[in-house]
């Protein structure tokens, strides 16, 4: 590849880089986004991060959140870990994410020999789709990383099916490897679905053309590439797979739980279901009102009404800054999934003029993603997927599947455009296609502008809640008027962009303008369109100084400082905020609550049935030594719990119960220091139970604490049964008595129990999952294979071609 050719790709990238830096200019000033997920997760991971800073070693278990749970990190020997570290060392995360989206989609389009500036148009539209920006603002960083890596992963598959085996293998291996590194399983699942549909279409074509052998070779290469990518990340993938069985994604043992078997409950999974009409937000962003709390400005009807009602100006500004504009069917939303009016127009154009497998691939996946996003609003279809399609019931927020449409819509749109530019499509057919697409998209936008205000009520089922919260009727009515006004404004806005796009393409077909001007016009209008909508949901006001953010959120209160004087090992229950959706307490203490979307299922059930109901028996058994509660003036103060039973104790009575339901219900009222309950399934691990003494004579205590290595010492005249106030989790935790491995059992629904022999003994619990022990070895081998593939491909692509053409 000559320098001149490299430059033709580099210049569009540099233009997009400048635009991205301008958009995220506050990061250049050292500011950061206030991302809820990122902030709260920093609290959750604080114990692990602090330990690694102090020792250089990685932990895989933390006791700082939800009593104790695994935190799975990748191996330091994973090649993709070092790629991530290199990129994030000099590129701010928001900028990096958008650049990855641009580069990835650019690579996908390059598989079809799209010219650089045309690829710039499609890649910019993909990278700046609102769902990406909204997800970045919320702090769903790993999700966005994997979203941005979907397109280049697909590009690798397409290259292999195009019989560019070596290049395709490298692209597939590298970008799938990065996908597995960030490990957002739901996004990776959607990617695999896209690859499956593509493979089916390739198989059909191979059978028709009698090229089954080439198809088989491609499949072998792709399986090998995926295996290397997966193997490099095996530590995290294996560990996550093991944990999923015990997490809230793995189903429940309780007969009272209406679960889908080994997945989420349907109501929980479908809680965020897209309304059927809400699909129109792909084309008209304010079709359903935008976000649940949106700044509608001082020109709005609501603001004018507030001023007329003599509400102080500043108070009026505060109200309109977080107006409940959204009137759709989801519980709440930050903003719509908007793909751009021009891209929707080009997509419709593609449906009309494009022929072949890529049209059917894009159309099938777009329709599928929309119908699946409807969730509970299309149960006849979605129930089948939820109950019968493997793994589908492990994911929530079904609207997330619109990430598929986020790729397929601009892909088919640009594919249609290059068919016209390459004159693959007959001129008259292209003209007809443009007219029909304009009639459909422009007509729909015009219809919404003219008659939408009469068709829809713009009322939300949540408006009644506003009245209950003290909103006067006139204020709710003014908000409804603003919803209608914003709806009509955006309908007209989409009509304008469709008109411009259709006009530019029509003018080129009629040879009125050059191709360069047409592409430049489409790119400029697309950027203006998406930039304006993106700024509604992620703008400079969402950034603040990093030091200010960490200081305001994690600074220790007087209550925290008082508790931290106690250097023993205990747990804290913070009741001054939602204890089960915050990581601040975990930053300072071992918390009963925490912040995680994938808690242990048993601990979640303990929360629902006992902890949330302030069952002191359960809180005592969890060694909850301190409560943080609000004082009369709102300040957090400390209450010490004298009944917390400590880290470990001998019991007087071990009661065997028949199942999980009985074990959980038995915790309703009991003395944890005297009695423990054990599911009968663990009886086989206790052949010596008849010889156990329940006198509680002797003593047992915690000698040293490490999150993944606990050491105790016991002294007893007889064999006894000890309960450890530590969360039971298998596979992973291994018990040792005097350095000899022994079996331990689960008691009291979530804790660990162990038979302790008479005499003096050293008892240890070590977190040693096989996924780390063996996964790291396989990961190293696969990482070396990745490096070898990169070197070999570089040699073949550059060294060999240079010998053939010394000028290149």
Residue 56 makes CB contacts below 8 A (sequence gap 6+) with: none
Report how far residue 49's alpha carbon sits from residue 508's, in angstroms, rounded to the nearest whole number: 57
Question: Residue 689 has what pLDDT?
Answer: 47
CATH topology classification for 648-769 = Immunoglobulin-like (2.60.40)
Question: Residue 549 has what pLDDT?
Answer: 64
Give Cα 238 distance to the centre of its chain. 19
Report how far residue 740's alpha carbon sits from residue 382's, in angstroms, rounded to the nearest whole number: 51
List pLDDT tens digits, range 662-696: 999 999 989 999 999 999 988 887 755 457 778 88
- Please work out, in degrees rounded to the nearest 5, the angle formed at the alpha carbon of residue 535 by the alpha carbons of 533 and 536: 70
- φ/ψ of 544, rounded to 5, equals -155, 160
Question: Residue 333 has what pLDDT?
Answer: 92
Report how far residue 484's alpha carbon sits from residue 499's, in angstroms, rounded to the nearest whole number: 23
Q: Which two tokens stand for residue 263?
A: 């997945």
Report how far residue 536's alpha carbon sits from residue 335's, in angstroms, rounded to the nearest whole number: 9
Q: Which two tokens stand for residue 510?
A: 């009629």
Which of the 8 DSSP states describes residue 557? P
CB 417 within 8 A of CB 384: no
Q: Which two tokens stand for residue 206?
A: 């191979």
CB 342 within 8 A of CB 522: yes
Residue 284 makes CB contacts below 8 A (sequence gap 6+) with: 341, 445, 448, 487, 490, 491, 493, 494
Report how far residue 128's alpha carbon sits from residue 339's, in angstroms, rounded to the nearest whole number: 8
Report how far residue 399's alpha carbon sits from residue 131's, in angstroms, rounded to the nearest whole number: 10
Report how far residue 176's alpha carbon sits from residue 187's, in angstroms, rounded to the nearest whole number: 12
Question: Residue 487 has what pLDDT?
Answer: 96
CB 43 within 8 A of CB 586: yes
Full DSSP string of 350-388? HHHH--SHHHHHHHHHHHHHHHHHTGGGGHHHHHHHHHH
Length of the chain: 808
- Greatest C-alpha distance within the chain: 99
Report how far residue 342's alpha carbon sits from residue 496's, in angstroms, rounded to the nearest whole number: 10
CB 625 within 8 A of CB 640: yes
Burial 6-15, CB ≥16 within 10 A → b, else e: eeeeeebbee
Which residues, in sequence order, are bridge partners of residue 763?
712, 737
Report how far residue 325's alpha carbon sits from residue 485's, in angstroms, rounded to the nearest whole number: 11
Q: What pTM did the predictor assign?
A: 0.90
pLDDT along the chain (808 residues), means of 10: 81 96 90 83 88 85 93 85 93 95 97 95 97 92 96 97 95 96 94 97 95 95 96 91 86 70 82 94 95 91 93 92 92 94 98 95 97 95 93 91 97 96 91 96 97 92 88 93 96 98 96 95 97 94 76 84 94 93 93 90 94 95 95 90 94 91 93 94 69 82 93 92 94 93 94 93 93 89 95 81 56
Residue extents of the structural domains in the chain: 23-71+556-644, 73-246+774-808, 648-769
Report how far residue 471's alpha carbon sits from residue 460's, in angstroms, rounded to the nearest whole number: 14
């Amino acid at each position: 590849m000559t320098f001149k050719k490299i430059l033709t790709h580099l210049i569009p990238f540099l233009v997009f880089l400048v635009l991205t830096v301008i958009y995220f200019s506050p990061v250049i000033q050292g500011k950061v986004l206030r991302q809820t997920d990122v902030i709260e997760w920093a609290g959750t991971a604080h114990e692990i991060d602090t330990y690694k800073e102090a020792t250089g070693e990685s932990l895989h278990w933390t006791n700082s959140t939800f009593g104790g749970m695994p935190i799975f990190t990748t191996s330091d020997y994973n090649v993709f870990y070092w790629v991530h570290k290199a990129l994030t060392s000099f590129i701010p995360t928001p900028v990096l994410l958008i650049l990855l989206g641009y580069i990835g989609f650019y690579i996908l389009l390059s598989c079809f020999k799209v010219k650089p500036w045309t690829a710039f148009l499609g890649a910019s539209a993909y990278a700046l789709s609102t769902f990406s920006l909204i997800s970045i603002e919320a702090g769903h960083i790993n999700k966005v990383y994997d979203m941005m890596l979907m397109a280049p992963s697909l590009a690798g598959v397409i290259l292999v099916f195009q019989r560019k085996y070596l290049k395709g293998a490298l692209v597939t291996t590298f970008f799938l490897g990065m996908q597995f590194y960030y490990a957002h399983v739901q996004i990776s699942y959607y990617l695999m679905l896209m690859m499956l549909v593509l493979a089916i279409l390739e198989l059909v074509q191979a059978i028709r053309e009698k090229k089954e052998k080439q198809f088989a070779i491609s499949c072998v290469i792709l399986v090998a590439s995926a295996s290397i990518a997966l193997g490099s990340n095996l530590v995290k993938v294996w560990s996550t797979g093991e944990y999923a069985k015990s997490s809230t994604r793995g189903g429940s043992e309780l007969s009272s739980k209406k679960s889908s078997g080994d997945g989420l409950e349907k109501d929980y999974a479908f809680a965020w279901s897209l309304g059927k009409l809400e699909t129109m937000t792909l084309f008209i962003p304010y079709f359903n009102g935008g976000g649940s709390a949106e700044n509608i400005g001082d020109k709005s009807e609501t603001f004018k009404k507030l001023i007329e009602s003599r509400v102080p100006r500043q108070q009026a500004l505060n109200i309109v800054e977080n107006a409940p504009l959204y009137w759709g069917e989801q519980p709440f939303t930050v903003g719509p999934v908007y793909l751009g009016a021009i891209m929707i127009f080009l997509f419709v154009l593609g449906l009309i003029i494009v022929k072949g497998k890529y049209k059917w691939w894009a159309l099938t996946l777009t329709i599928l993603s929309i119908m699946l996003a409807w969730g509970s609003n299309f149960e006849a279809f979605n129930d089948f997927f939820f109950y019968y399609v493997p793994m589908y019931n492990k994911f929530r927020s079904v609207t997330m599947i619109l990430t598929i449409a986020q790729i397929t819509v601009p892909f088919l749109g640009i594919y249609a455009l290059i068919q016209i530019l390459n004159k693959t499509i007959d001129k008259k057919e292209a003209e007809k296609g443009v007219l029909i697409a304009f009639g459909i998209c422009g007509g729909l936008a015009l219809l919404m502008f003219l008659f939408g205000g009469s068709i829809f009520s713009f009322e939300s089922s949540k408006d009644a809640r506003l009245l209950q919260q003290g909103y006067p009727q006139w204020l709710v009515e003014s908000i409804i008027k603003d919803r209608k006004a914003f709806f009509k404004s955006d309908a007209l806005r989409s009509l304008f962009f469709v008109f411009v796009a259709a006009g530019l393409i029509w003018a080129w077909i009629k040879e009125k303008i050059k191709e360069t001007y047409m592409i430049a016009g489409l790119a400029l209008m697309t950027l203006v369109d998406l930039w304006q909508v993106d700024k509604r949901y992620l703008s400079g006001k969402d950034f603040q100084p990093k030091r200010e953010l960490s200081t305001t959120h994690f600074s220790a209160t007087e209550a925290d400082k008082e508790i931290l004087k106690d250097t023993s090992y205990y747990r804290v229950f913070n009741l001054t905020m939602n204890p089960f959706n915050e990581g601040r307490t975990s930053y300072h203490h071992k918390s009963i609550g925490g912040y995680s979307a994938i808690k242990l299922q048993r601990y979640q059930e303990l929360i629902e049935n006992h902890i949330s109901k302030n069952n002191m028996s359960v809180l005592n058994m969890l060694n909850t030594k301190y409560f943080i509660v609000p004082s009369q003036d709102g300040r957090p103060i400390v209450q010490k719990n004298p009944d917390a039973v400590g880290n470990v104790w001998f019991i007087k009575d071990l009661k065997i119960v028949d199942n999980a339901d009985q074990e959980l219900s038995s915790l309703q009222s009991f003395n944890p220091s005297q009695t423990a309950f054990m599911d009968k399934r663990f009886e086989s691990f206790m052949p010596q139970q008849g010889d156990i003494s329940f006198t509680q004579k002797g003593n047992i205590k915690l000698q040293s604490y490490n999150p993944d290595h606990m050491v105790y010492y016991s002294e007893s005249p007889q064999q006894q049964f000890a309960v450890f106030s530590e969360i039971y989790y298998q596979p992973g935790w291994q018990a040792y008595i005097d350095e000899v491995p022994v079996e331990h059992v689960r008691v009291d629904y979530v804790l660990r129990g162990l038979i302790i022999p008479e005499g003096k003994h050293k008892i240890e619990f070590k977190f040693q999952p096989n996924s780390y022990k063996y996964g790291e070895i396989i990961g190293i081998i696969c990482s070396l294979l990745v490096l070898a593939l990169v070197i070999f491909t570089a040699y073949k692509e550059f060294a060999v071609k240079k010998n053939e053409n010394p000028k290149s």
